[in-house]
Structure 1
Amino acid sequence: MSQQSLLADRGFYLGPLFRRAADRHGAVFVTLDRPLDVDPARGVDLSYAVLADVVEELSARLWEAGVRPSEQVAVHKSDNVDIVLLTCAISRIGAVPALLSPGLSGPVVGQLLARLRRPWLITDRAKLAGPLADVDVPSLVRRTLTVDDMPTAGEPDRSGAPSERPAALSAPYAEPLGNHAGAEPPPPVRLHPREPALITHSSGTTGIPKLAVHCANTMWNRLVPQQAMGWPTRGETAALHMSFVHSRFYHLLGVLLRFGSPLVLITDPEPTSVGPLLSRHRPGIVETHPNTFVLWEELADAPGAPLSRVRSYGSTFDAIHPRTVRRLLGASKRRAPWLIQLYGQSETGPVAFQWFTRRSAARADGRRVGSGIPGFTRVRVTDDHGRPIAPGVAGRIEARTRGRILTYLGARETYERQLDGEWWQMGDMGYRSRFGVLHLIDREVDRIDSVHSNLEVEDVLMSRLEELREVVIVPGVDREPVPVVCVRGERPLDAERWREATADLPAMAEPRQWRFEELPMTATWKVKRVEITRMLAEGARA
C-alpha cells in the first residue's frame, strides 16, 4: 500500500478520546470553574475516568432518543464544558456534531440550522426562552433535546428572572435529554475516515458564518504536527480558555489527553476568577485567544503568581501583540518559557507557526507569523492573478495543507472560489522574507490605502500605551483610518499621550473610545472589523 493510501486511512475520532485517555493514564484530574449543565451534581473536581463515563452516558441517552449514525446533531447551548462532552458523545455513536457558538444571535442560528439536513438540536432552556424564542425551531430540526428540564411557571431561569410561561406553552416541542437516563451505552460506531465527522463554523467576521465540514482524516492531519509541538510539555498541567465549538480546541484536547496532562477548563475569563484558579493549580501550559491574553496581562503580577510555573503559552485564532508576549513570558519563573503562535483558519487548521522566547520577544515583530509545517503545510504569496511573487513583495496569502476541510455545507460554490488548484486563499495580505518566513499585513477586506498595515500600527500603539486593552483601526465613512480604542478600567483616554504616541504614525481620525464589551466579537474574541465600520457609518448617518 502506498504512503498516500496509508495517510488517507488515518483518522482522528472524538468519540473514544476520554475513554482511551482514562484507560491509558487512569484518574488524571480535570478541574472546571463551573459544574456541568448535563450533570451539575458531579461538581467541578472531576477526572478523565469521570468524563469518559459522562460521555458514554450521554451517548446512551442520545441513542435511546433515536439519534443514529451519519445524522447531523446541532449543539447550541449556553457556554460550558459539556459542549465538549456532548460533541464526543455524538461522535461516539457515529452521528455528526454541528457546533454552533453560544454567542450567535437567534436569526443566525436559524439560518445555519436551515443549511443543515433536518438536524437534531441539543440546546437548553436559556436558549429556547431567549435567542431562539422567535425562531421557528420545529420547522428546521428533526427533534429538539434539552440538557436541562424545562422550568415551570414562576421558576427562575439562568438569568434569575422568573419564567412567565410553563415549558409546555413556551417550547412544547422540546424534550429533556434526562428522560432517557439509565439507558445502556451502545457499542461505539466508527465512520469511514473521509466521511463528514464534525461541522464547525467560520468566525463570521465579515457576515453570516460558513459551515465547515471536517472528516476524521483531515482532522488527523492537523493533529499529528500539533502532537509533535506538544511533546516537550507532555504531562504538564494545562489551563485552557477556548471556544468549545472551534476545531482547534479538539485537536489540543487530543494532544493533552494522549500525554496525560491534568486539565483546568475555564469558561469565565475574568482575571478575578482565573487568578485564584491558576494560583491553585500552577499550570505549565496555558492557551487562550489572543484578546484574552491581553486581558490576562493583569495576571503577570497578580497575588499568588498564577503564571509563575508556565512553560508554554499557546496562541491561535489571530496574531498576538508583542507587548502581550513580553508580559506573559516575563511572568513565568521557569528557566526558558516560550509562546507558540499558530496561524491558520477553521478551514485549514494551522498552516504556519512561530515560537517566541524571552530573548526573541524583546525584538518581536508582531506581523511575523512564521513558516509552514514541514510535511503538512506550505505557504505562498501571489499576485491578483494567482502567480507567486518575489520575497518582500506584498500579495495574497495562500496555503496548501492536508488538513483542509471537505467543503462548506450548502455553499460549495463559495468553497470552490477560494481554491486555486490545491492552494487555499486565506483572505489575508502579506509577504515572505527571503528566508521564506511569512509576514501578515491585513485582511484583504480591511485594507486602507493610506496605512501600510493596520495591524502593525495597532501593535505599535499597544506597546506605547500600556493603558490600552485594545485598539482597532478600521475604515471610516470616507475610508479614512479610524482608531477605536478601549482603555483598562474604562478610564478616559489621555489625549496628550495619544498625540505623542501617534506623532510618527500615519494620519488618522480622532480616536473613538468604546467599552471593550461594546466591540462586536466572534466566539474566539476576534473583533468584527467590518461590523465596526458599519456601526460607525450608522452613527454618522444618525
Structure 2
Amino acid sequence: MIFPNNTYQELNLYSNFAEAAERFPNVPIYFDDTLIGFPDLALETTYQDAKTSIIAQASRLKQLGIKKGDKVVIYKSPMFDTYLLAVAVSFLGAVPVMISFHFPAPIMTIMCDRLENPWMIFDQVTASKAPHITSIPSNQLIELEKLVTLEVNETPEQEFLPIDDISYMTHTSGTTGVPKLIAHSAQSMGWRTKWQKNIFDLMKQDELVAFHISPVHSRFNIGISSLMSKGFPMLWIGSSELENVDRTLTKFKPVALETHPNNFVQWSHLAKEKPELFASFNYFHSTFDAINKGTMEIFLNASSGERPVFMQVYGQSECGPMIMRFHTKESIETLDARNMGVGMPELTEVRIVDENAQVVPENTTGNIQMLSKGRALTYYKEDARFTENTYDLWWDSGDFGYKDENGDLFLLDRQVDLIRDVESTLKIEDLLLDKLDFLNEVVIVRGKDDIAQPIVSVVDNEDMDWERWWHAISDFPLLSKPLIWDYNDIPRTATMKVQRLKIEEDLKNQSDEKGA
C-alpha cells in the first residue's frame, strides 16, 4: 500500500490542540459520561470550547504553584480528562507523567521518588491511595474535584520546553515488576504522529471516530493529537462494560473504532448478538498487540460497509506503532494471526537476531529488534535499564518471532514467556479462542514442572464444554487441565494486557501453600 507522506512536525500537546481548534473550531467531541476534571464540557463539546477549558485549568494549576519544568503525575480514573489535564500541564511547560490508577501506593512511592519532588493530580478513584505515596509532599497533592472549583484569576502565557527535552512520560506495563517511566520528547513524539497521520489520511475527514484506549498509554496522546490535526469528530467510550457499549453505539454511528485487543475480545460476543451496533464501522484498529483471527472476523462480519478493514498494529511504548497489517473479510479466511505485517517505509522496521545480536536468515526464529524514528529517549532515572535493550539505533523488543521471505513479521511470544516444548503460547491462545466460542479469554502460562498451564474464562451464561476443549487441543503440545477463572479475576495492566508473571507467581504460591 502507498501511504501519504505527511510533513514532520514535533508534537507539543497544547500547541497541537490549539492549532486544531483554530482550524476546526466547531468539530465535536462526544463523551459517554461527564468528566470530573472538565464538568463544563458536559457530554458534548467542540475543539474550541475544550481548548478554552484547558487554558482555564492551566491557570488554576499555575495558581497552585506549578511552573515550567515541573513534573506533574496524573494519577486518576481512566477518562478523557486525563488527556485534557496533560494538555493543560503542557501549556505551562511542565511535564505530564501519565500513571495508571491501578498501581498501589507502595509502587507509586517508588515510581514518584524517581521524579524528585513531583506534583500529583488525583481524583476520587485514587483518593484512598494518594496520601500514602510518601515520595510526594502533601502540599503538592492536588485533588481534582477541588481544583475545578478554584476561580480563574488570569490567563497565563504558554511556556515551551526545547523540542529534544523530556516533555511527556508514560510507563511500561508493569507485567514484570515495578514499571519503568518512559521519557518522550516533542521531537520523538512528532515522528510517531507522522506515522499515525499517514494512516488517518486513508479515511474521510468528517467521519466519526470512536475509541476506548487507556489514557495513560503512549498510544493515546499520539492517536488523539493526530486525529485532531486532521479535524476528525471523536467519540470517547470511557466504560468498556457491555451495557455502556450497547447504549453508546445505539446512540452514535461511528465509522472507525480503536481499542485494545482484549477489549475487542470482550466486545466480540456483543458484536455477534447485536451486529447492528457495529454495522456503521468501516475501520477497526487494534492497538500495539496481537489479536486472534476469530475476533477480527466477528467485527468485519458485523460491518455493513462495502469493504471494511481491520488494521492490526504491533508496537511498543518505547518505539510507538511499528508494524501493521490490513485485514478484510476475504483475506481473513486464510490469515495466519501470528503474521503482524510490515513496517511503514522510512519510519519503522524490524529485524530478527540471535542471542549475539547477529541477524538471522529468513524464516529463522530469534529476538525481534525494532528501528523507529519515534523511539523514546530513555527510562527516567534508569538509563542503564534502557541502554541494555539498545543496539545502536535498534531496540530489543523482548519479543520472539521470525520474518518470512516476504519480509512479514511473525510474532510468537514474549522472550520471558517462552515455555518448554511450546513454540508459541500466543498461537495456541488464538486458535482456542477461534475454535471455542464459549470462551472469552485463554491465557497460557508456565505451570508446575514447567508444563503449560491454561487459564480460561467462560462467557456469561455459557458452560465449559470439556468435550470440545479436549478435542480442540488434541494436536497441541502438552497442556495441563485448564483452570477456570472469572474474566475479571485475571490480573491485567492499564491497557488490558494479562499479567502473566503475576499469574505464575500466584499459582506457585498456591502450590506452596498446599504443600506446606
Shorter-normalised TM-score: what interval? over 0.9
| 8 A Cα contact 1:65 1:180, kept in partner | no
Within 5 Å, give how 1:37-436 maps onto structure 2.
37-128=36-127, 130-136=128-134, 138-139=136-137, 143-149=140-146, 177-178=147-148, 180-233=150-203, 234-303=205-274, 305-436=276-407
Alpha-carbon distance in structure 2 between the residues aligned to 1:419 and 1:138: 32
2:442 maps to what in 1? Answer: 471
| 8 A Cα contact 2:38 2:148, kept in partner | no
| 8 A Cα contact 1:77 1:123, kept in partner | yes
2:484 maps to what in 1? Answer: 513
Q: Which moved more, 1:35-44 or 1:189-198?
A: 35-44
Residue 328 of structure 1: SS of its match in structure 2? helix
What amino acid is aligned across from residue 135 of structure 1 in structure 2?
I
What amino acid is aligned across from residue 144 of structure 2 in structure 1?
V
Q: CA RMSD in A?
A: 1.7
1:166 maps to what in 2? Answer: none
| 8 A Cα contact 1:271 1:298, kept in partner | no
Q: 1:24 to 1:333 in 2, by over 3 A?
A: same
Alpha-carbon distance in structure 1 between the residues aligned to 2:283 and 2:199: 11
Residue 283 of structure 1: SS of its match in structure 2? coil
| 8 A Cα contact 2:272 2:298, kept in partner | no
Residue 329 of structure 1: SS of its match in structure 2? helix
Q: CA deviation at 1:255?
A: 1.9
Alpha-carbon distance in structure 1 between the residues aligned to 2:308 and 2:7: 36
What amino acid is aligned across from residue 469 of structure 2 in structure 1?
W
Residue 30 of structure 1: SS of its match in structure 2? strand
- Any stretches of 5+ residues in structure 2 without a counterpart? 1-5
1:22 maps to what in 2? Answer: 21
Within 5 Å, give how 1:434-473 maps onto structure 2.
434-473=405-444
Residue 403 of structure 1: SS of its match in structure 2? coil
Query: Per-residue CA shift, 1:51-94, capped at 9, x if unaligned?
Result: 11111111111112221111111110122211011000001111
| 8 A Cα contact 1:289 1:524, kept in partner | yes
What amino acid is aligned across from residue 141 of structure 2 in structure 1?
T
Q: What is the aligned residue count?
A: 507
Q: Which moved more, 1:41-50 or 1:421-430?
A: 41-50
| 8 A Cα contact 1:397 1:425, kept in partner | yes
2:507 maps to what in 1? Answer: 536
Alpha-carbon distance in structure 1 between the residues aligned to 2:294 and 2:149: 51
What amino acid is aligned across from residue 144 of structure 1 in structure 2?
L
Q: CA deviation at 1:194?
A: 0.2
| 8 A Cα contact 2:211 2:236, kept in partner | yes
Residue 370 of structure 1: SS of its match in structure 2? strand
| 8 A Cα contact 1:235 1:256, kept in partner | no
Alpha-carbon distance in structure 2 between the residues aligned to 1:510 and 1:304: 34
Residue 437 of structure 2: SS of its match in structure 1? coil
Q: Which moved more, 1:407-416 or 1:230-239?
A: 230-239
Alpha-carbon distance in structure 1 between the residues aligned to 2:24 and 2:9: 23
Residue 232 of structure 1: SS of its match in structure 2? coil
Alpha-carbon distance in structure 2 between the residues aligned to 1:304 and 1:429: 36
Alpha-carbon distance in structure 2 between the residues aligned to 1:328 and 1:347: 29
2:3 maps to what in 1? Answer: none
TM-score (norm 2): 0.95
Query: Per-residue CA shift, 1:272-321, capped at 9, x if unaligned?
Result: 11122112211011000000001111332455812111111110131011
Q: 1:384 to 1:304 in 2, by over 3 A?
A: closer
Q: 1:99 to 1:105 in 2, by over 3 A?
A: same
Alpha-carbon distance in structure 2 between the residues aligned to 1:308 and 1:83: 30
Q: CA deviation at 1:142?
A: 6.5
Query: Per-residue CA shift, 1:438-490, capped at 9, x if unaligned?
Result: 10010000001111110111111111101110101100131100000011116
Q: CA deviation at 1:40?
A: 2.5
What amino acid is aligned across from residue 132 of structure 1 in structure 2?
A
| 8 A Cα contact 1:300 1:330, kept in partner | no
Alpha-carbon distance in structure 1 between the residues aligned to 2:472 and 2:126: 44
What amino acid is aligned across from residue 190 of structure 1 in structure 2?
F
| 8 A Cα contact 1:115 1:410, kept in partner | yes
Alpha-carbon distance in structure 2 between the residues aligned to 1:358 and 1:310: 13
Q: Are positions 1:496 and 2:445 aligned together?
A: no
What amino acid is aligned across from residue 16 of structure 1 in structure 2?
S
| 8 A Cα contact 2:8 2:191, kept in partner | no
| 8 A Cα contact 1:430 1:438, kept in partner | yes
Q: 1:137 to 1:321 in 2, by over 3 A?
A: same
User: Among the aligned pairs, what percent are the same residue?
Assistant: 33
1:170 maps to what in 2? Answer: none
Residue 369 of structure 2: SS of its match in structure 1? strand
